[in-house]
Amino acid sequence: MTSAQVDTDKAPEEGYERGLNSRQVQMIAIGGAIGVGLFLGAGANIAKAGPSIILMYALAGVIIFFIMRALGELLLYRPVSGSFAEYSREFLGPFFGYFTGWTYWLMWVVTGMAELTAAAIYIHYWFPDIPQWVSALVFLVLLFVANLISVKLFGEIEFWFSMVKVTAIIGMIVIGVGVLTLGFSQAGDTAAVSNLWEFDGFFPKGIGSSLMTLQGVMFAYLAVELVGVTAGESENPEKTLPKAINTLPWRIALFYVGALTVILAVVKWTEFAEGVSPFVEAFTVIGIPAGAGIVNFVVLTAALSSCNSGMYSTGRMLRTLADNGEAPRVFNRLSSTKTPAIGIAVSVVFMAIGVVLNYLVPEKAFGYVTSIATAAGIWTWLMILISHVRYRRKVVAGRLPASSFPAPGGSVCSYIAIAFLLFVTCLIAYDADARVCLYVMGGWFIALLIGWFVLKSRNPQITTRRPGEDEPELQKVG
């Protein structure tokens, strides 16, 4: 019997229902790679980097694949809900598990704050007389109720949200290719593949300016790791998770590289600006009257999808923390539908505070929120990679069993990804506007460090690893 089989058998002891089927897990994985960062954020990145933004998304996509293969190897070694915190705790120590769990919770709470307010703005496009706070509150309550009912309903909602996003992107690519090859529409005379290099070259503002967009590009990929949180509730994780992770390269190639290549061939890059969706601009240039409305609907689903995922993951992460004595024990309880209802409810309260704050503060608050989410996401990815490196060392030494889904190249790709993420962190530090997130993360670290010492004084055992957690014997696992 393999380690994956044994651990899969043990996973239901967490109390969760294995209610996510293969179809839903696949779509959650696909949807996690498509968000508001692509539909809206790409406009600002195009204005800064020109056609070279395609290369930046491709480069970041390769790194994301390295991260996901590292996570995949860990998931098939021990598939558990709240996986990032659990692996950090096992391979780096209790404090890192505690810090990673709370930081991932923070990432989704601040993302939920932004996405709810964004969704209200998108509704305002069609119904300007409805106050933004009303729309935001309605969405908050509906998604909260859906997450309380069952994990199956969460999976079904996420499936259809993802379907809308995928259909919109594929539609844009098909229409764009038609314009380029057949020359129809209002853009037929100006659309050409040569638009990718004719206007001041492929790097019109220099390589340095292109590299500076990497921090925004990485934000677009946040939530791709959500498939790891579903491990404890997937029907057949040893089959569904590898498939979801291995299809990531073609998803990135199609939805990011493919879509942006077509858009920038149809519309020259000089037409884009910050705050302008490249999809809206492309539909407008092509001459589709309902284009703006279509994209507005798609971006609305992207925002609601992100908020839905946030509620799901925050509840699970709080339960993982509570199970390890790093959060109030009340978060450990499951409802009659086997959902961490109390953890979800508390997270929703914080998201609701964000709705109020975003209603009161200037629009620049969105930039700050997204940069904080990016910094928290980078920390999570680093913990996945470092945990993977430590795990591989123990496998090579014969102290842990090998996973049934090993990452290609062993630890080499993880080291490359670690170096890349540290480079992006340096870019964030260099950017005066984005730098504020590092100050916030510094304050967050101090707050959690104080909390850790308080926990330690109340329960000294919290600083020791649980039996079998550090280096389980091979015979115990398999």
Q: Tell me the HSE value of 72 on the side-chain side, using a 13 A CA sphere.
A: 25
Distance linking the first and last C-alpha atoms of the chain: 6
pLDDT in tens, 231-277: 556 667 777 778 878 888 888 888 889 999 999 998 889 888 876 77
> For residues 228 and 241, what is the distance between their CA atoms, to the nearest angstrom?
8
Tens of pLDDT, residue by residue over 85-142, are 889 989 999 899 899 989 989 988 888 887 787 787 778 778 888 877 788 888 889 8
Confidence (pLDDT) at 211: 92
* C-alpha to C-alpha distance for 216 and 203, rounded to whole angstroms: 17
- What is the pLDDT at residue 43? 82
- φ/ψ bin of 334: left (φ > 0), alpha (ψ from -120 to 50), beta (otherwise): beta
Tens of pLDDT, residues 397-447: 999 999 989 999 889 999 999 999 999 999 989 888 778 888 889 999 999
Residues 186, 84: Cα–Cα separation, whole Å: 49
Which pLDDT score is estimated for 133?
Answer: 78
> Could you give the C-alpha distances from 469 to 13, 90, 153, 231, 410, in angstroms and in order?
16, 6, 33, 18, 22
Please report, to the nearest 10 degrees, the dihedral formed by the alpha carbons of residues 349, 353, 359, 364 taken in order. Answer: -120
DSSP state of 408: T
> Cα separation of 209 and 236, whole Å?
44
**Number of other CB atoms surrounding residue 446 within 10 Å:** 10
Q: What is the pTM of this model?
A: 0.84
54: closest CA among 220, 264, 366, 272? 264
User: Residue 34: pLDDT band by 50, 70, 90 thresholds?
Assistant: confident
How is 100-151 classified by DSSP, letter by letter?
HHHHHHHHHHHHHHHHHHHHHHHHHHH-TTS-HHHHHHHHHHHHHHHHHH-H
Question: How many other C-beta atoms can be found within 10 angstroms of the C-beta atom of residue 290?
Answer: 10
Beta bridge partners of 20: 234
What is the per-residue DSSP string for 325-375?
A: TSS-GGGG---TTSS-HHHHHHHHHHHHHHHHHHHHS-TTHHHHHHHHHHH
CB atoms inside a 10 Å sphere around CB 143: 26
CA distance 346 to 338: 17
pLDDT given for residue 232 in this prediction: 56
How many other CB atoms are found less than 10 A from the CB of residue 62?
15
Residue 310 in 3-state DSSP? Answer: helix
- The CA distance from 288 to 344, in Å, is 41
> Do the Cβ atoms of 116 and 354 come closer than 8 Å?
yes
Q: How confident is the model at residue 17 (pLDDT cuts 50, 70, 90)?
A: low
How far is the C-alpha of 323 from the C-alpha of 313, rounded, in Å? 15
Contact in structure between 257 and 69 (CB atoms under 8 Å): no
Q: What is the pLDDT of residue 369?
A: 73
303 pLDDT band, cuts 50/70/90, is confident
Of 33, 45, 20, 105, whose CA–CA distance to 322 is shortest? Answer: 105
| Structure tokens given for 318 | 């709080």
Cα angle 246, 247, 253; round to 5: 125
Q: Please tell me whether residue 19 adopts helix, strand or coil conformation.
A: coil
**Which is higher by pLDDT, 475 or 121?**
121
Q: How far apart are CA 39 and CA 36, in angstroms?
A: 5
Q: Could you give phi then psi for residue 16, rounded to 5 degrees?
A: -75, 155
Q: CB within 8 A of 356, min separation 6: which ones?
A: 133
Q: Tell me the C-alpha distance between 254 and 73, whole Å.
A: 25
Bigger pLDDT: 118 vs 328: 328
The model's pLDDT over 179-228, given as tens digits with 9 standing for 90+, comes to: 888 877 776 677 888 989 988 899 999 999 999 999 888 888 887 777 76
Mean pLDDT of the chain: 81
Identify the band that residue 365 occupies on the pLDDT scale cut at 50, 70 and 90. Answer: low
